[in-house]
Amino acid sequence: MDRSLPRKINRLAFAILILLFIFGYVSKDNYRQVDEIHPDLYQEPIQTEAINKTPILFERDGYHYEITPLYEYELNAFIVSRRDYRRFSLKRTDNLYPLDLCLLWGGNVKNKLYQSKKLSFQQDSRQSSWRWYGDLGFNNSQAANVHLVVENDSMQNRLDKLQVGDQIKITGQLVNVKAESLGDPGSYEPSEVQLNTSTTRSDAGPGACEIINVKSVEVLKKANLPANSLFKFGYFSLILLVISNIVVFMATTLMPSLDTDRTD
């Protein structure tokens, strides 16, 4: 038997799994591949006066927070971009609303404008922007950047699983947020923060983002399931293959040889 055969098989397995991993990683967040739209996304958001407008008070990460509900809010939308600000933020207040989503609904999804390469989206500095050229017919009032306020780890875990291309239903409240430092905020953090939610879909620019205190989130239709499966399969299989190679290496090179000489 050719002793080099296991090495060749091992290298081939590495190559195939790396390709699957890369293909899945690139494809899993490609919202332009999404073709079937849940009909609930054609609806406009539902906004009604908050039942209870009593401010919610609590302390977290060295800040005292006051969250004031203004409206009950329900939104069915399509995720075209997401930004997690925990990864590169120096502000502890970002932990209250770590995830921003850029969302579309209504005619923007019914007419599948998101599939056009004439249209692009960008998220940065707590804002989203979209640009297009030509006569695309994009409706600015059916797109938004939302800050998602979370009150517990369970809800945060659910939001963390949301991906670009997912079609979701968010239920919660539009809220204003005020934060005051309980001590020295440090060089990179403010002593006080006041953020007011947008209450209309027709505004633009700074202050046009909806701040949603999330009560529930439901995935109406998951995006790119084959690509997600390939990504996860490639990722975990690569880990197992690396571990198995480490075990084989240790067994063959680090353990004492069983064929030692004996003296009677």
Q: What is the pLDDT along the chain (264 residues), one digit of tens a residue?
A: 556 777 788 888 878 888 877 776 776 778 998 999 999 999 999 999 999 999 999 999 899 999 999 999 999 999 999 999 887 777 888 889 999 999 999 999 999 999 999 999 999 888 999 999 988 999 999 999 999 998 888 999 999 999 999 999 999 999 999 999 998 887 788 899 999 999 999 998 888 999 999 999 999 999 876 667 777 777 788 888 888 888 877 777 766 554 554 444
Rounded Cα–Cα distance for residues 104 and 42 (Å): 10
Write the DSSP symbol of residue 252.
I
pLDDT confidence of residue 27 = 65
127: left (phi > 0), else alpha (psi -120 to 50), else beta? beta
- pLDDT at position 161 is 92
Q: Cα separation of 145 and 156, whole Å?
A: 18
CA quadruple 116, 119, 122, 126: dihedral sign: negative
Asked whether the beta carbons of 75 and 91 are under 8 A apart, the reply is no
User: What is the C-alpha separation between 73 and 212, in angstroms, rounded?
Assistant: 8
Residue 72 identity: E
